Structure 1
Amino acid sequence: MGQIRILTDELINKIAAGQVVERPASVVKELVENSLDAGATDISVEVEEGGCRLIRVQDNGCGMNGDDALLAFERHATSKVKELCDLDKIATLGFRGEALPSIASVSKVRIVTSDGNPSSGSEILIEGGKIQDVRAAGRGRGTTLEVRGLFYNTAVRRKFLKSRETELSHITGIMTETALAHPGVYFTLKHHDRTLIKSPGVSSILERSVQLLGKDARGNLMELEEGREGLRLFGLISIPGFTKPSGTGLSFFVNRRPVSDRTLRHAVYAAYETLLMKGRHPLVYLFLDVDPALVDVNVHPAKREVRFTDPKRIHDFTRDSVRKTAQGYGRAQEDERPSPWPASERVERVKEAVESYLRTAGEHRFHEERTTGRPAFTGRIQPEPGKPAPAVRALFDKERLVPLGQIADSFIITQDRDGLILIDQHAAHERILYEKFKQVYRLSKIPVQQLLIPVNLELSGKERILLAEHLKTLRRLGIEVEDFGRGTFSVKGVPMWVADMDIQEIVRSLLEEIVALEQGGELDRRMEDIIHVFSCRAAVKANRRLSREEMEALIRDLGETDSPHTCEHGRPTMIRIDLYEIEKRFQRK
């Protein structure tokens, strides 16, 4: 007898499951897409133990009669493709007929479905790909499908699953993407008894983004919509300056299908090329509508990859559209941003600050400052036992620097006897906080200030899951967060140096960085990187008016650091303009 034989259907389905069903989130994606293809307007997903124990998807779609329900679990059985030419114009999310039999082969499945006819309801039980029972069942129009014990019969696949929280975060990500792509559908996601997503149907993606993304969508994302020669691109992109630590914030949809595509990804980075700092990434949710005949979605069983017939055309259109919107935001903000003084007066004030040195040292002019009533820069860095205090630097002598004011509410103008020094207030405060945090963290003595009024965190479903997983890490950094259950969190205490900052934004961005760093290695070994991030997020931002007392405190504290001339990223905290250069510019030399 020869050695080559035809595989059994059971073995074929298990092999196919390896491509289609990678984790619980893959199951959720396939089942929800089936519901959308069935015309559902209300889709509810319930999971237990991160989807490993149970996944239940209910919808109000067209449903199936008993015969179709049985056929749906046969390999390559589908209602979406009838002829070869149909592959060139696929408009549905599913079409291969592989997902349901693949899922059923590695789990225990129960389906209850009806097409609305009184006698059409049926219930089917399948275990490991084998039908166990078929019976009539009462149900209104639609389908309920349960998947229990995922990978119960493939132990090697179970070993590759991550923690419950990690798997749940992937499910939440899939549901968020899908809900954004279909704003008119009511989506619900529950984990045990906790509701993670409850998103009624709305009329626009922007409205949906506010439901799902919370604070990210308000002020940090802007709408994009462009069209060109049969192509349409629309969605949301981050404003310049609002960035992420990793590239996981790029979501693409082609004809409402979530995809991973190098062409689109490269186009976005090309558009943001001059707007991103090194190591930072934009946040985008982009939807490309294109003639189905111009894109091949039949590349991989998971249907995440696509091929365009003219990738350069798609790339250039996407790049130009994103660049136009991103750069247009900067111009619009500049046009709309109110200035505290007329342009001529702003020029005069800067000129006064420069010329004041040339007259007399005792006739400095300070413009009136708006006092915040909160000490933004408090406390000094205490030298460790046996370590001498930092020596006075040649370029930076805090005892001689006199603050004159600010340029654009971002750079402090100071002077000493040799000329002017411009200080980047964000970079300087970043250096101060970094050395403070590093010192007190090493000594396990982070001073925590209890908040008089706790700050309730406004988080997306995925962020709530990640926060619950990393409460201990935040506590080690001096951020005390209390979990009230049912997805509600409140910040009760923070390091004393950041008590007057935007605590919600600090926690949210810090959480993103922790997750990104955790993926790159053991978290304990990367705490210094987290301290870098914490310092950057907590530092006073550009475009903030400082009082004279705050400027003096910042200069004083910067002088106490070991490296006052640069922030921890290596950028300069200050630049000098020598008196000789000033006199030369005024033709006095």
Structure 2
Amino acid sequence: MPTIQVLDSHVADLIAAGEVVERPASVAKELMENAIDAGASKVTVEISHGGLTFLRVTDDGKGIPAGELKTAFLRHATSKLRTAYDLEAIGTLGFRGEALAAISAVSRVEVMTRTADAPLGASLSLEGGVPGEIEEAGCPLGTTMVVRDLFYNTPARLKFMKKDSAEGAAVFAVVQRVALSHPEVSVKFIRDGKQELLTPGDGALQSAVYAVLGRELALGFREVKSGGDGIKVTGFVSQPACCRASRNWQFFFVNGRQVKSRLLMAALEQAYQNQKMVGKFPACVLHVEVKLSQVDVNVHPAKTEVKFGSEREVFNAVYHAVLSVLEGDRSHPQATFSPARPKQTPGQTTMLGLSAQTYRQLTVADVATPRFTPKPRPTWTPPPAAAPRPSVPKKAPYVESGVENLVEKVDNSVHPVENLVDKVDKIPQETLLNSKKLEKHAQVIPSEPQPQPIPEPVATPEPKDEPVEKPVHMPEPEIEAEPVPEVEPWRLAGEVLNTYIIVEQGDKILLIDKHAAHERMNFDRMKAQGHQAMAQTLLSPAICRLAPEEQAVLLSNLSLLEEFGFQVDDFGGGALAVREAPDYLDVEDIPDTLSQLAQKLLTTGHADPAAARDELLHTMACKAAIKGGWKTSPQELERVAQAVMDGSVKYCPHGRPVAIELTRKELEKQFKRA
């Protein structure tokens, strides 16, 4: 028996199909591209069970002649190429003639089609690549492809498929990209009988962006228009303040073809350098048009990678097109609505001096007597003019500089609330924390002076007339506390660059990364809570639009999200409705936090649940931590410094040190004094 043999045609078809058809999303992509090449103005994609059991693509293109229907399913049969010269200037999305043959080889396919000059349509069924007989059928102009039981004859590939929700999300992502690549085509997507996307198909990219990406992201976009040297760049890019937590919102198209290009991604992000936050990525929908002879699309079987004949020119064109938009925003800043605060008149009580968040969360009772212990919380009522003010313990350094001054400055007049607001306006915003945040940072402010606990004596004291040496023979207590090592006194010297806390201790200086230290404090606290994360019910659900893959992985891990304090529902249209969120998370941070959680789940998988939970806790702790570059109250700085100086915080959750030490000797060496 010879060692080298020619494979059977059926086996060869299965191998070739594995290169083209990886999952249901690959089928949807190939069929939609064929529809667009056929001149369709409307394309509808319907799936069930993630597209594995049922996937249908309907278009109103020019159709396939009945006599060519079987030929269309042969390998390397295409109407888009004739000679080798045509490969040098490919203007269609498909060109190899492998898609239909590959799809039919690993599924059961039904096709119905009719051309404009035919009174009746034609239908054909194929199973495992073997065609049946062509029959006449009544059908509208265009083509309908139905793919059932994908990979039914290749169990090796079928066992690697993900959950139906994940596969359906991948199909949805493909549909979104096709809709953005050709705004002149109306695209509809239906999953399990529910419509999730419909674009108008009016030819305006802005309309497609609004329909696909949602109102919030569309309003944060700036239009890009640039052309010259044979390279045209159009589309939209996000403002630096609207950058996202991942690159899932970057869409690049070259001559109407969706591509993955490191060159285009690098040009985009280079333009945003020094304008966006670290860890954030710009969102974009960019169309690049170049001469067909200057781009090679025959690089990868999926046709998602391209090579440019002049990479430097393409890079510069995209870079300068985006940069000009960003510089235009800086030279002509967008107007923001900020109503002026009216002058208050006697008897007028208003909270306009506070932010919306503080106004929602702050009450007089919260300021005067916040909730810190399970004991019944004393309430504060406006006292008469002669009533004494509540006393504040002196051993509460955080409260003394903020809330204590606030309480003592309240003028006991006819309008105590109004005067309280005036004083609130003058103290740092960070001091005005709600009761839950005060619970984390401050000590109890009792409404009445609290008696100090009296320690029990270890032995009965001797009468005064007894010798002084007598207590030496007193019995020792049963449990003797270990001596606490004395900590060298330290002083909070300040903060530099709104990022690093300066602490002076003896003859050395410590620089503390406030974000890393606070992140570690949050991580330890959340891990200690276990499955008892404190969740707060939102007044109105927060609607978060995520990438399809992110949405799918979150919906398949709802129990894990509940452990972290989230209650999430599928809102439809590619969005999630968040009804409960952790109490330490601001509402505006919820979308980015969920996106980062989804990315962690997508990368870590489910092999080690404990490791996955730690990764998620890292993300949650980071989002809840104070940010570098942001102003922080002295009380918060002191609290973070105290945790570091006590030794309870040494490294951030990722292993980086939170503080560095600089001694007097090292300083003197820098100044040539040593």
Alpha-carbon distance in 2 for matches of 1:510, 1:150? 32
Secondary structure of 1:467's counterpart equals helix
1:466-545 matches, within 5 Å, as: 466-483=553-570, 489-498=576-585, 500-502=586-588, 504-519=590-605, 522-539=608-625
Residue 440 in structure 1 maps to residue 529 in structure 2: yes
Task: Pick closer, same or farther for the CA change 1:555–1:375 going to 2, 3 Å.
Answer: farther
For the 8 Å contact 2:605–2:612, the answer to whether it is kept is: no
Deviation at 1:328, TM superposition (A): 5.0
1:83-102 matches, within 5 Å, as: 83-102=83-102
Secondary structure of 1:63's counterpart equals coil
How big is each residue's C-alpha offset from its partner over 1:419-444, in whole Å with a ceiling of 9 and x where there is no partner?
A: xx999987776555334323323xx3
Deviation at 1:34, TM superposition (A): 0.6
Deviation at 1:445, TM superposition (A): 2.7
Alpha-carbon distance in 2 for matches of 1:46, 1:262? 32
Alpha-carbon distance in 2 for matches of 1:110, 1:162? 25
2:210 corresponds in structure 1 to: 210
Deviation at 1:14, TM superposition (A): 2.0
For the 8 Å contact 1:517–1:526, the answer to whether it is kept is: no
For the 8 Å contact 1:466–1:511, the answer to whether it is kept is: no
Deviation at 1:181, TM superposition (A): 1.0
Residue 380 in structure 1 maps to residue 467 in structure 2: no
Task: Pick closer, same or farther for the CA change 1:323–1:329 going to 2, 3 Å.
Answer: same
Question: Which stretch of the first structure deviates more once superposed, 283-292 or 2-11?
Answer: 2-11
Alpha-carbon distance in 2 for matches of 1:125, 1:486? 33
Task: Pick closer, same or farther for the CA change 1:298–1:448 going to 2, 3 Å.
Answer: closer
Task: Pick closer, same or farther for the CA change 1:532–1:216 going to 2, 3 Å.
Answer: farther
Residue 41 in structure 1 maps to residue 41 in structure 2: yes
**Amino acid in the other structure paired with 2:284:** V
List alignment gaps of at least 5 residues for structure 1.
342-364, 577-589
1:270-281 matches, within 5 Å, as: 270-275=270-275, 281=281
- Aligned residues: CA RMSD: 4.5
Task: Provide the aligned length of Structure 1 versus Structure 2.
Answer: 538
Secondary structure of 1:258's counterpart equals strand
For the 8 Å contact 1:431–1:558, the answer to whether it is kept is: no
Alpha-carbon distance in 2 for matches of 1:509, 1:388? 48
How big is each residue's C-alpha offset from its partner over 1:19-75, in whole Å with a ceiling of 9 and x where there is no partner?
A: 111111111100000111111121111112211111110111111221132221122
Question: Which stretch of the first structure deviates more once superposed, 156-165 or 7-16?
Answer: 7-16
For the 8 Å contact 1:43–1:57, the answer to whether it is kept is: yes
1:171-186 matches, within 5 Å, as: 171-186=171-186
**Amino acid in the other structure paired with 2:51:** G
Secondary structure of 2:70's counterpart equals helix
Deviation at 1:162, TM superposition (A): 2.0
For the 8 Å contact 2:551–2:598, the answer to whether it is kept is: no
Residue 284 in structure 1 maps to residue 284 in structure 2: yes
2:106 corresponds in structure 1 to: 106
2:471 corresponds in structure 1 to: none
For the 8 Å contact 1:509–1:537, the answer to whether it is kept is: no
Deviation at 1:291, TM superposition (A): 0.7
1:300 corresponds in structure 2 to: 300
Secondary structure of 1:147's counterpart equals strand
For the 8 Å contact 1:49–1:164, the answer to whether it is kept is: yes
**Amino acid in the other structure paired with 2:554:** L
1:302-341 matches, within 5 Å, as: 302-326=302-326, 328-330=328-330, 332-333=332-333
Secondary structure of 2:183's counterpart equals coil
1:10 corresponds in structure 2 to: 10
Secondary structure of 2:152's counterpart equals coil
**Amino acid in the other structure paired with 2:599:** E
For the 8 Å contact 1:377–1:553, the answer to whether it is kept is: no
List alignment gaps of at least 5 residues for structure 2.
341-422, 443-480, 663-674
1:169 corresponds in structure 2 to: 169
**Amino acid in the other structure paired with 2:251:** S
For the 8 Å contact 2:110–2:125, the answer to whether it is kept is: yes
Alpha-carbon distance in 2 for matches of 1:276, 1:375? 33
Alpha-carbon distance in 2 for matches of 1:179, 1:387? 70
Secondary structure of 2:301's counterpart equals coil
For the 8 Å contact 2:501–2:641, the answer to whether it is kept is: no
1:361 corresponds in structure 2 to: none
Alpha-carbon distance in 2 for matches of 1:391, 1:340? 53
Alpha-carbon distance in 2 for matches of 1:84, 1:426? 59
Task: Pick closer, same or farther for the CA change 1:85–1:510 going to 2, 3 Å.
Answer: closer
Task: Pick closer, same or farther for the CA change 1:340–1:194 going to 2, 3 Å.
Answer: closer
1:62 corresponds in structure 2 to: 62
Alpha-carbon distance in 2 for matches of 1:276, 1:459? 20
Task: Pick closer, same or farther for the CA change 1:488–1:276 going to 2, 3 Å.
Answer: closer
Secondary structure of 1:380's counterpart equals helix
Task: Pick closer, same or farther for the CA change 1:141–1:88 going to 2, 3 Å.
Answer: same
For the 8 Å contact 2:254–2:289, the answer to whether it is kept is: yes
Secondary structure of 1:226's counterpart equals strand
Alpha-carbon distance in 2 for matches of 1:111, 1:160? 27
For the 8 Å contact 2:44–2:187, the answer to whether it is kept is: yes
For the 8 Å contact 1:125–1:133, the answer to whether it is kept is: yes
How big is each residue's C-alpha offset from its partner over 1:99-132, in whole Å with a ceiling of 9 and x where there is no partner?
A: 1011111110000111134534011000001012
Higher RCO structure (Cα 8 Å, ≥6 apart): 1
1:110-149 matches, within 5 Å, as: 110-149=110-149
Question: Which stretch of the first structure deviates more once superposed, 552-561 or 222-231?
Answer: 552-561
**Amino acid in the other structure paired with 2:614:** E
Deviation at 1:183, TM superposition (A): 1.7
Secondary structure of 1:162's counterpart equals coil
Question: Which stretch of the first structure deviates more once superposed, 199-208 or 122-131?
Answer: 199-208
Alpha-carbon distance in 2 for matches of 1:332, 1:390? 59
Secondary structure of 2:132's counterpart equals strand
Alpha-carbon distance in 2 for matches of 1:298, 1:560? 59
Task: Pick closer, same or farther for the CA change 1:338–1:52 going to 2, 3 Å.
Answer: closer
Task: Pick closer, same or farther for the CA change 1:468–1:64 going to 2, 3 Å.
Answer: same
**Amino acid in the other structure paired with 1:490:** A
How big is each residue's C-alpha offset from its partner over 1:463-516, in whole Å with a ceiling of 9 and x where there is no partner?
A: 443331121221111112245788775333222222x53264255334433334
Identical aligned residues as a percent: 32
Alpha-carbon distance in 1 for matches of 2:220, 2:617? 24
**Amino acid in the other structure paired with 1:66:** A
Task: Pick closer, same or farther for the CA change 1:329–1:469 going to 2, 3 Å.
Answer: farther
1:582 corresponds in structure 2 to: none
How big is each residue's C-alpha offset from its partner over 1:223-269, in whole Å with a ceiling of 9 and x where there is no partner?
A: 33322201012233344365555555543221011123343344344
For the 8 Å contact 1:112–1:145, the answer to whether it is kept is: yes
Question: Which stretch of the first structure deviates more once superposed, 81-90 or 262-271?
Answer: 262-271
How big is each residue's C-alpha offset from its partner over 1:271-298, in whole Å with a ceiling of 9 and x where there is no partner?
A: 4454566665443333210010111212
Deviation at 1:305, TM superposition (A): 2.2
**Amino acid in the other structure paired with 2:29:** K
Q: TM-score, normalised by structure 1?
A: 0.77
